Amino acid sequence: MLEARELEATRGSATLFRGIGFALRPGALLRVTGANGSGKTSLLRVLCGLAAPSAGEVRWNGTDVRALREDYWKQLAYVGHANALKDELTAAENLEIACALAGLDAAPARVQAAIARFGLAGRERLPVKLLSQGQRRRAALARLALSEALPLWILDEPFSALDADAVERVQSAAGEHLARGGMIVLTTHQEARIEARSATDINLGDGRTEARPSH
Amino acid sequence: MLAALRTVIRRDLLLAMRNKSDAANTLLFFVIVSSLFPLGVGPEPALLRTIAPGVVWVAALLASMLALARLFAADYADGTLEQLALAPQPLAAFVAAKILAHWLVSGLPLVLIAPLLGLQFDLSGTALLTLMASLLIGTPVLSLLGAVGAALTLGLRASGVLVPLIVLPLTVPVLVFGAGAVEAASSGLGAQAHLSLLGAFLLISAALSPWAAAVGIRIALE
């Protein structure tokens, strides 16, 4: 279970958000919304343990994530704003490397299936620099298809640059993850249609948390 | 954990293979800078022999500074560094793997080509061998120290200039004992003591600098 208590983040002297708290249980989805510059990415980086909050704490199964470190990170899949792809390598090579670093099984058949699942079949042998922006995002997100063993997914704007077809694919992968008891935190501007037992929205603009009826 | 480290080394070597110009630039810089001296100071064998160790070592030092700015910058820009920082293995281990890969691409070629450059300075056989040995032990120290500087300047605008400014003063002992080893060998004193000291620098920096660089990277990512 992922819990946040009284989180506050500042940039320079300005407060981005304060008093953010929630508890995310298995099978639950948390959607972080807010205007540009409201601190969505900062919140996700705090939840990942990459950045320290200026107040409050994030707990994973009851322990502060800044103390758990590697024990927390081995349960976490984070897709950031940057795609973390190497331009000179192919999508398949990028995926294999990402999985090997995260300690996931990257058998060629699984990598192939993940690439096909995100609609990049036929392009897996091209260097990533020859792919379009949307295709690169797909290649970055294809990692999720290999991350079913990681309980917590934290996704920063997963739908940016994606077309309707790719959005559909990401949503179905996310829905499956929640159905098997995974947890997802994501930021997005668009309405995400993800099947979830429980879904919560946090708006960083007004700091309000509201439970949403699941779709 | 070893599998993950092997992956990082293999990935960085693969990237270097696909993008050969980076490694080639370092090597060419080394060759050109050290070849300018015989042309500049004139063909006086005794003088050339005297300045050779210092010139080759300073050129190696500058060439390795050239490669350092790229050590973490690309991974930082494309988000890979974040993923390494969130991996189940300690970041310091990945940093050590990256330094090793970086040395294989930018340091080892300098060691291998150095005897050829030494010939321009009329160095004897023993002096050439000692030059290679001192570079073999010394250039990894440069990569290790440089990694700390590269990590500390990550994300700064002037990092290309800052890295040498931070790192070069720290490399003075390596330069003194590296060039000193060659001088000692050519004057018949034996380079044992100098090389042992270089070895000690290598061990200390290998033990400490991956940790220091990892801390620098975490600060840059925050």
**Contacts B94 to A, Cβ<8 Å:** 101
What are the tokens at B88? 């189940």
Rounded to an integer, what distance in angstroms lies between the CA atom of residue A74 and that of residue A38?
29
* A contact set with B (CB within 8 A): 48-52, 70, 73-74, 76, 78, 80-89, 93, 97-98, 100-103, 127
Q: Residue A121: pLDDT above 60?
A: yes
Supply the range of the domain harboring residue A33. 1-75+151-159+178-215
pLDDT digits (tens, 9 = 90+) for A6-62: 999 988 888 888 888 999 999 999 999 988 888 899 999 999 999 999 999 999 999
Q: How confident is the model at residue A205 (pLDDT cuts 50, 70, 90)?
A: confident
pLDDT at A215: 46
Any domain includes A211: yes
User: CB–CB of B4 and A101 under 8 A?
Assistant: yes
Any domain includes A29: yes
Q: Count how many pairs of residues, chain A against chain B, have C-beta atoms within 8 Å.
A: 74
pLDDT at A213: 55
Q: How many CB atoms lie within 10 A of CB A179?
A: 12
Any domain includes A108: no
Kindly compute the dihedral angle of the four CA atoms of residues A104, A163, A127, A118, in this order, to the nearest 10 degrees.
30
What residue in B sits closest to A82 (Cα-Cα)?
B79
User: CB–CB of B87 and A50 under 8 A?
Assistant: no
Q: Residue A214: pLDDT above 60?
A: no
Q: How many CB atoms lie within 10 A of CB A212?
A: 12
What residue in A sits closest to B81 (Cα-Cα)?
A84
Any domain includes A43: yes
pLDDT at A141: 95
Q: What is the CATH number of the domain that holds A39?
A: 3.40.50.300
Percent of chain B that is helix, strand, coil (3-state, to 5): 85, 0, 15
User: CB–CB of B8 and A101 under 8 A?
Assistant: yes
Any domain includes A80: no
Beta sheet of A2-11, edge-to-edge order:
A14-24, A2-11, A55-60, A63-64
pLDDT at A44: 94
Any domain includes A87: no
User: CB–CB of A87 and B89 under 8 A?
Assistant: no
Average pLDDT per block of 10 residues along chain B, 222 residues long: 90 92 92 92 89 94 89 92 93 96 95 94 93 97 96 86 92 96 90 95 97 95 88
**Contacts A52 to B, Cβ<8 Å:** 222
Out of A70, A82, A97, whose CB is closest to B90? A70
pLDDT digits (tens, 9 = 90+) for B122-170: 999 999 999 999 999 999 999 999 999 999 999 888 878 889 999 999 9
Beta sheet of A183-187, edge-to-edge order:
A76-79, A152-156, A183-187, A28-33, A198-203, A208-212
pLDDT at B70: 83
| Helix, strand or coil, per DSSP, at residue B103 | helix
Any domain includes A124: no
The pTM is what? Answer: 0.92
Out of A51, A52, A98, whose CB is closest to B83? A98
User: CB–CB of A73 and B87 under 8 A?
Assistant: yes
Domain count of the fold of chain A: 1
In a mutational test of the A interface, the residue from B86, B215, B219 whose CB has the highest number of chain A CBs within 10 Å is B86
Q: How confident is the model at residue A99 (pLDDT cuts 50, 70, 90)?
A: very high
Out of B19, B85, B88, whose CB is closest to A102? B88
Any domain includes A145: no
pLDDT digits (tens, 9 = 90+) for A141-155: 999 999 999 999 999
| Helix, strand or coil, per DSSP, at residue A75 | coil
pLDDT at A12: 83
